[in-house]
Amino acid sequence: MAQLTDPISDFLTRLKNASNARNEEFRAPYSKIKAEIARILQEEGYIWGYEVDNSGKFPELKVKPKFADKTGKGALTNLKRISKPGLRQYVSVDEIPRVLGGMGISIISTSKGLMTGHKARKQKMGGEILALVW
């Protein structure tokens, strides 16, 4: 199996593809940061839920994408990975982007853990901007 250089981007791409394909669930290799991203996405209503599956050789994250309406359109329209392993993007509290005028979220890695851009602004904290989701 090939070594991933950006596992967070891989996770977000799997989420986007599963949502577009209207899959009931998808699996991704487990890591603490991916579980935290899944927690934020669940709190913000982009996924139904997630769980850690320890039945195999390596733990996996099982994620259930959410669909917004009866036509099957995903709750997640699109996402963009901002900070990459080759180019980290850090922002101060004043530079945290507002996604689609508040309709989307930004995921920020702060010294107090992962949180949405809105929560980071409230706590007056900057950090590494991981992704934008809308």
At 105-126, the pLDDT tens digits run 999 999 999 999 999 999 999 9
**Per the structure block, which two tokens stand in for 94?**
């004043």
Contact predicate 125/119, CB 8 Å: no
Contact predicate 31/59, CB 8 Å: no
**Per the structure block, which two tokens stand in for 103?**
């309709």
The fold adopted by the segment(s) 7-65 is: Ribosomal Protein S8; Chain: A, domain 1 (3.30.1370)
Q: Which residues have CB under 8 Å from 97's CB, separation 6+?
A: 91, 106, 117, 129, 132
Return the domain boundaries, the chain: 7-65, 79-133
What's the pLDDT score for residue 45?
93
- CATH, range 79-133: 3.30.1490.10
Place of tokens 């593809």: 17
Per-residue pLDDT of 59-76, as tens digits, reads: 999 999 997 666 656 678
Q: Which residues have CB under 8 Å from 91's CB, separation 6+?
A: 97, 108, 126, 127, 128, 129
pTM: 0.91
Question: What confidence category does residue 127 fall into, taking pLDDT thresholds of 50, 70 and 90?
Answer: very high
